[in-house]
Structure 1
Amino acid sequence: MGVDLGELVEPEEISFADLNDKVIAVDAMNTMYQFLSIIRQRDGTPLKDSDGNTTSHLSGLFYRSINLLEKNIRPVYVFDGKPPQLKAKEAKERRKKREEAREEWEKLKEEGKISEAYSKATQSSKLTGDMIEEAQKLLDAMGLPYIVAESEGEAQAAYMVQKGSVYAVGSQDWDCLLFGADVMVRNLTSRKTRKTSGGGRKEVSTEKIDLESVLDQLDISHEKLQWLGILVGTDFNPDGIYGIGPKTALELVKQYDSFDDLMEDDKVEWESDNDPDKILDFFQNPPVEDTDFEFESPDKEEIRNVLIEQHDFSEKRVNSGLEKLDTALESRQSGLDSFT
């Protein structure tokens, strides 16, 4: 979710080689929702164990993390903490939409409309507290660090980039730029091809977005980028301003020197329950904290316990993944110590 700047910004296509030896703060919630959406059976049913527990998020976390490590990219997962009050109404709306999508998915499955069912299934993904705990348990076993933010994970990840403790934020959500992330990487954990609405597949490139370059392209300040985001719609006012798209929003923010004057423009009809000044303040002063993290040696037996014993993963596939993990760690010239 969040603001969509894709219409205004031209990302730089990069390869994993461009991220060699980089530490990336991965937006954990955004990434796990991505796994829940795409790692599914043909009719949209997520991967499940014999007890009926969803395991798509664990599959994605295990195999995609190993893939990054094989490319000498080091992920630090950043989880959301306590959601801000500004997000309360949006969270309620998202729950309602997920439930509606789930009902439509079940109906379409019964009717045998598999392709349409899959589309609705991806919109019904739900990430529970238990699933988050399972993910963190797996990360511990893999020796990969994770951080639980004080509030928004994107804000914490952006702060870590600003402090120089990581190179970039790995996320699909443009809001991390509003929080001040100097560098953002999209499609880091995505499949390299994606289904199209016509049933085919298209290539998905890893993209780098540099905040300074974005501001130069748009010829605005970072604060005005935040104004633009609020006009278009963020997680705290998802509908944005009726009739104002990214291009119109860019024209508007360039006309004004103060946020108050911008909000008084005749085109800006504010309908969100949230105060725009409070949204702006949250982007400018989000709850964040200094953090320390380090990479540890993986506990293979615990990985097997979590995936095979508790969730019925294929022993052969997990052992193959562990071999790749070993190779990835051993390939580093100075060993695991260079991860710290």
Structure 2
Amino acid sequence: MGITHLADVLRSETPGAIQTRPPDHYRGKILAVDASVFIWQFQSAIPTLNNRTGEDISVLQGLFNRTIYMLEKGMKPVYVFDGVPPERKRAKVSQDGSCQVRRPFRAVESPGPERQGDLKKLLRLMGVPVVQAPSEAEATCAALVKSDKAWGAVTEDMDALPFGCTRLIRNLKADKKKEIEEYNLPEILSTLKMSREQFVDLCILLGCDYTSKIKGLGEKKALKMIQKYGTIENILQTIRSEDRIPSDFCYKEARRLFLEPEVADVTALDLEWKKVEEGQVLQFLSGEKFMNKERVQQALQKLHPVKTSRKRKAKSGASGSSAENQKKINDFFTVKKSATQSKTSMGSTPTSSR
């Protein structure tokens, strides 16, 4: 789920509210991670990986490697899993703005309860807290950030912003070609001179999964109209052509879902990061899921950079490759003075100090 062209609008109109950051910027910071986005990435981008029993472990391996990367960089992730999506998604609207339920839309199927259980088990063995959202994961991520339980939300879905997430982080993955983007909602609203409610209306006009959109209304015109008229109701009064307003333009319900989303009770959450149970992780991934044992061990070793550095130094010292252990050529051959040097030495008169 996302907001159509919202990223393009913000890059054009509010460039100062978007920063590019190195991974080290998030060291020590608590990050609410939209697990559904990572799952979608691993399902759609990674070739299907089946173990010896025929089980698809692509998502499990992808989540393991991504979590290792975040922990290696000193981040403190808390994963939020999707619940039941709102029944109003892709709903049909009546003339008074109320909606009739239609089947929710999903571009990629979420893993079933059994596979989600494997993902949550892995994360717990890695010492990472897990939160089950009652509905949209990105809405609960936004609630964690707003309540200061998390510093920022990691998701590719721009709808975290209309949900009220003050810091949205995108492209946080082990890919040096893509820069991490950080969106600051208070700066966005200040630059656009909008309230959060007006920003939500803008997102609805741009296009979201909760409703259809007004025909022929591009992103630039939508922005200008919200800045001029303030609300969708006022904009509708200026549009005379009825064929431009679809019957399923459910803007009132979409607005409510953004401003009053169903989220987990974040105030009751006690987030705790524990030590990675490396032996149990290895047993689960290699012993039960038949992942390559050496690759799992190599990934876990990334969490011990100091130990790795010491081993390299010890190995270097044992092989005699360090500068201190290297012998000079004089240590192997006796250096004799030449005849000229001897004469010079014998004929020289020492200088006395007075």
After TM superposition, the score normalised by the length of structure 1 is 0.77
In 2, Cα distance between the equivalents of 1:209 and 1:320? 34
Q: Amino acid of the residue matched to residue 126 of structure 2?
A: M
Aligned to 1:3: 3
- For the pair shown, the structure with the greater C-alpha radius of gyration is 2
> For 1:278, which of 244, 248, 253 is the aligned residue?
253
Q: Does residue 79 in structure 1 map to residue 81 in structure 2? A: yes
SS in structure 1 of the partner of residue 88 of structure 2:
helix
In 2 relative to 1, CA 264–327 (structure 1 residues): closer, same or farther, beyond 3 Å?
farther
Aligned-pair distance for 1:94? 4.5
SS in structure 2 of the partner of residue 209 of structure 1:
strand
SS in structure 2 of the partner of residue 76 of structure 1:
strand
Aligned to 1:134: 118
> Does structure 2 retain, via aligned residues, the 8 Å contact 1:236–1:274?
no
Aligned-pair distance for 1:139? 0.6
> For 1:226, which of 176, 190, 200 is the aligned residue?
200
Aligned to 2:352: none
Give the percent of matched residue pairs that are identical in Structure 1 and Structure 2.
31
Aligned-pair distance for 1:91? 9.0
Aligned-pair distance for 1:180? 0.4
SS in structure 2 of the partner of residue 9 of structure 1:
helix
In 2 relative to 1, CA 156–47 (structure 1 residues): closer, same or farther, beyond 3 Å?
same
Q: Does residue 150 in structure 1 map to residue 152 in structure 2? A: no
Aligned to 2:326: none
After TM superposition, the score normalised by the length of structure 2 is 0.74
In 2, Cα distance between the equivalents of 1:137 and 1:264? 53
SS in structure 2 of the partner of residue 228 of structure 1:
helix
In 1, Cα distance between the equivalents of 2:63 and 2:210? 28
Aligned-pair distance for 1:169? 0.5
> For 2:30, which of 23, 33, 36 is the aligned residue?
23
> Does structure 2 retain, via aligned residues, the 8 Å contact 1:141–1:303?
yes
> Does structure 1 retain, via aligned residues, the 8 Å contact 2:81–2:133?
yes
Aligned-pair distance for 1:148? 0.5
> Does structure 1 retain, via aligned residues, the 8 Å contact 2:198–2:231?
no
> Does structure 1 retain, via aligned residues, the 8 Å contact 2:127–2:274?
yes
Q: CA RMSD in A?
A: 2.6
Q: Does residue 320 in structure 1 map to residue 290 in structure 2? A: no
In 2 relative to 1, CA 72–255 (structure 1 residues): closer, same or farther, beyond 3 Å?
same
Gap regions ≥5 residues in structure 1? 41-45, 99-124, 193-202, 332-340
Gap regions ≥5 residues in structure 2? 12-17, 92-100, 310-354
Aligned to 1:210: 184
Q: Does residue 310 in structure 1 map to residue 288 in structure 2? A: yes
In 2 relative to 1, CA 30–222 (structure 1 residues): closer, same or farther, beyond 3 Å?
same
In 2 relative to 1, CA 61–328 (structure 1 residues): closer, same or farther, beyond 3 Å?
farther
Q: Amino acid of the residue matched to residue 40 of structure 2?
A: Y
In 2 relative to 1, CA 190–261 (structure 1 residues): closer, same or farther, beyond 3 Å?
farther
The number of equivalent residue pairs is 287
Q: Amino acid of the residue matched to residue 138 of structure 1?
A: L
Aligned to 2:321: none
Kindly provide the CA deviation profile for residues 173-200 of structure 1, in whole angstroms up to 9, marking residues without a partner as x. Answer: 11000000010100113633xxxxxxxx
In 1, Cα distance between the equivalents of 2:203 and 2:306? 39
Aligned to 1:14: 21
Aligned-pair distance for 1:278? 1.2
In 2, Cα distance between the equivalents of 1:180 and 1:190? 27
Kindly provide the CA deviation profile for residues 18-50 of structure 1, in whole angstroms up to 9, marking residues without a partner as x. Answer: 21211100111012111222222xxxxx12212
SS in structure 2 of the partner of residue 87 of structure 1:
coil
Kindly provide the CA deviation profile for residues 237-258 of structure 1, in whole angstroms up to 9, marking residues without a partner as x. Answer: 2x53322222111011112234
In 1, Cα distance between the equivalents of 2:102 and 2:285? 30
Aligned-pair distance for 1:272? 6.2
In 1, Cα distance between the equivalents of 2:40 and 2:306? 26
In 2 relative to 1, CA 255–135 (structure 1 residues): closer, same or farther, beyond 3 Å?
same
> For 2:164, which of 174, 180, 195 is the aligned residue?
180
> Does structure 2 retain, via aligned residues, the 8 Å contact 1:70–1:328?
no
Kindly provide the CA deviation profile for residues 37-96 of structure 1, in whole angstroms up to 9, marking residues without a partner as x. Answer: 2222xxxxx12212322222111211111111111111111111222111266995745x
SS in structure 1 of the partner of residue 8 of structure 2:
coil
> For 1:57, which of 49, 59, 63 is the aligned residue?
59
In 2 relative to 1, CA 190–316 (structure 1 residues): closer, same or farther, beyond 3 Å?
closer
